[in-house]
Amino acid sequence: MFSFGSRFMKRCRIAGQRMGTRNASFARNQSKFFRAGVAAGVVSVGAAVFGCASVARADSGPYMANAEQLMEEVARERHDRRLRQMKIFSGTANIPLSEEIAECLNTSLGKIMIKEFADGEIGIQVLENVRGKDVYLIQPTCPPNVNSALMELILLISTMRRASARTITAVLPYYGYARQDRKMISRVPISAADVARLIEAMGVDRVVAVDLHCGQIQGFFSPRTPCDNLDGSVVALPYFEKLGLKKKDTVVVSPDAGGVYRAKRFRDGLKAVGIDASLAMIVKQRERANQIAQMDLVGDVTNCDCIIVDDMIDTAGTLCKAGAELKKRGADRIFAFATHGLLNGPAIQRINNSDFEKVVMTNTIPLPPRKRIEKIETLSIAKLLAQTIYSVHFRQSISRLFDNPKILKPETPIVSAEQRTAKA
């Protein structure tokens, strides 16, 4: 700074020699003002440093607690402001699950009117402002009317986009048409990809699905529309942990070659809770859809507790034949777990007459009262979906939900008691 002043003085003297004494005197006066300004700046900087040191000494005293409280209050206010940006709406496919998710997030479902006209068309009207909000639509495209549920989801996305929502996230507990994910024969559609294109064309920003029939379905969405595939088996691990399985003689069975990776993840989850399970696989040969010609077992299940793990149960023909095959090979107790319980056709009767102790599934698809039998156990997946919505909304990692199972325990709140009080 002072070197700059010296250079300035030298230039003033040179200028004075060229332009005369009067001009040189003026330049010297200017340089005096400049040096005075520099000195004043140095003094002000010193005063600022001294003041900061005084403030630091003051904060180290009793005022530090007040400062920390103030920062906590600011953080809580920012959290509540961000939480108020969240709007959760539900289609008509699984309203009980949507209500449970909203309850976990300490909020209520958004007001919306969905009706069916006399000619079968669907009418939708959002009854509250969503401009600039982050909207989450919960709608499984599941039975009893898959096509209506899908059309309803498409119209919901379109409605929110036209209402100027900031972001739209489609939460699909069950992704319909997922089994048609490739061309096995000539002249057939790849319906899973077509459904993805329909949803994306409506302007959705993100898709959250649970246990897709094939993980590659995520690739049917473009990079501009991320698709998260949640592992629904994490909600079943606490149930099987308390079931009293044999610690050393438990086998996780995949009903086909395509489900080995899913069964392996489930086995790893059991090992994490203290059950040293092994792995087996059933190789099946189909005559046609939903009909099995022959089954072969790869692995040993003699005197073991067996758990058949699959993504869905449709007519339960494959599942019950697999259970009978395991019993014939000397298995002790046989259980089954599937994330999605479609239970179409004779599924209930087959399960009721099967060798299974329990068939465990989640509530991604609503189970009518007439299908609730003693052998079927339904677990709620609401906490997993609520925690996922919270993580997406607050830009947190979703994978942490599977790395730390304690997060999904019922006693662990998603929103803390202080945040609940502040929001109320």
Query: In terms of Cα–Cα distance, which of 319, 299, 323 is closest to 251?
Result: 299
Q: Which residues contact 410 (CB under 8 A, 6 or more apart)?
A: 383
Please, what is the end-to-end C-alpha distance for the chain in angstroms?
Answer: 57
Look up tokens 């606490």; give the residue. Answer: 238
Contact 418, 106 (CB under 8 A): no
Cis peptide upstream of residue 144 (ω within 30 degrees of 0): yes
- Alpha-carbon dihedral sign for residues 295, 299, 300, 305: negative
Torsion of CA 243, 245, 250, 255, to 10 degrees: -20
d(CA 420, CA 368): 33
The answer to whether 284 is a known catalytic residue is yes
Residue tagged active-site, from 246, 264, 284, 327: 284
Q: Which amino acid is at 249?
A: D
d(CA 178, CA 134): 27
Catalytic residue ranges: 284
